[in-house]
């Protein structure tokens, strides 16, 4: 079985978000980049599937050379090989087009991509990729069991879960639940050494336009200071929530 895991290279979740160039660009100064957490759950799930049933796991990223350390980390965690589509990830539409080309050339049975990246939060790539490849698609997937070409998946719905039966080839929009937080793997020294020797193929982008672009960024307005209420005066809190905030 061939599994493709799509990896987005995103600022660490603890990053302070700042913008540069007249608020038109994300300021990468002092920011540590990591594997997008939703993708990391997917990568770990791919490792589990590989260990259970045998599979070749390829990781792919659309980005410049700056994302290679992130791909190497995925290799150190256990992916077999990596592909970097050499292009700036202009928008989700563009990225999904690039990935669809990779899927077309690679004969993948299962594609796992995080349901959204923690930077742009577009939530575009898995769905559009399924659309472009005409693969089955389960989004916000919290559990996946494969049996031959059949798949049983659980997805999150508002207020609960839904179990679906589907089949390969399949695109999964991954998130926490595919594996648990405690299942995530930290690369060990041996993994890191081996990752250096694993193939990282750089391919050219296929011609496609982006359909959206960010004109500018804004940070939320500064909050006014918290109103402190004495623990002995709960009536005041209720009165403020009722009369001032008008939420109860």
Instruction: Return the residues of window 135-164 that contact another protein according to CB under 8 A.
Output: 136-140, 142, 152, 155-164
Shortest spacing between CB 52 and another protein, in angstroms: 22
29, 197, 207, 215: which one contacts another protein (CB under 8 A)? 215
| Sequence-separated (6 or more) residues with CB below 8 Å from residue 121 | none
CB of 38 or CB of 98, closer to another protein: 38
176 binds another protein (CB under 8 A): yes
Interface mask (CB under 8 A) for another protein, residues 30-49, using x and -?
Answer: -------xx-----------
240 binds another protein (CB under 8 A): yes
Strand partners, 138: 172
Part of the chain binding another protein (CB under 8 A), chosen from 1-9, 10-18, 52-60, 67-75: 10-18
66 binds another protein (CB under 8 A): no
Residue 17: CB atoms within 10 Å: 12
In the numeric block, which tokens belong to residue 67? Answer: 């994302």
3-class DSSP assignment, residue 53: helix
243 binds another protein (CB under 8 A): no
124, 144, 172, 179: which one contacts another protein (CB under 8 A)? 124
113, 84, 89: which is closest to 4 by C-alpha? 113
**DSSP H or E segment with residue 10:** strand 9-11
14 binds another protein (CB under 8 A): yes
Q: Give exposure, 156-173, as e/b (b: 16+ Cβ within 10 Å).
A: beeeeeeeeebebbbbbb
């Amino acid at each position: 079985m061939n599994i493709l895991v799509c990896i987005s290279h995103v600022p660490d979740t603890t990053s302070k978000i700042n913008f540069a160039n007249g608020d038109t660009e994300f300021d990468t100064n002092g920011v540590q980049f990591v594997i997008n957490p939703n993708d990391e759950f997917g990568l770990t799930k791919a490792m589990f599937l590989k260990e259970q049933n045998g599979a070749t796991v390829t990781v792919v990223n659309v980005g410049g050379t700056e994302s290679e350390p992130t791909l190497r980390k995925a290799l150190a965690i256990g992916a077999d090989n990596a592909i970097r589509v050499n292009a700036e990830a202009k928008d989700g539409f563009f990225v999904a087009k690039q990935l669809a080309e990779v899927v077309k050339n690679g004969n993948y049975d299962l594609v796992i991509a995080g349901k959204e990246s923690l930077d742009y939060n577009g939530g575009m790539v898995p769905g559009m990729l399924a659309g472009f490849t005409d693969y089955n698609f389960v989004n916000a997937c919290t559990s996946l069991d494969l049996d031959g070409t059949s798949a049983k998946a659980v997805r999150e719905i508002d207020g609960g879960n839904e179990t679906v039966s589907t089949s390969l080839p399949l695109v999964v929009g991954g998130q926490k639940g595919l594996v648990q937080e405690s299942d995530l793997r930290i690369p060990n020294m041996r993994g890191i050494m081996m990752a250096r020797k694993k193939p990282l193929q750089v391919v050219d982008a296929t011609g496609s336009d982006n359909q959206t672009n960010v004109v500018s960024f804004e940070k939320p307005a500064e909050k006014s200071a918290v109103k402190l209420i004495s623990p002995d005066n709960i009536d005041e809190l209720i009165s403020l929530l009722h009369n001032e905030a008008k939420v109860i």
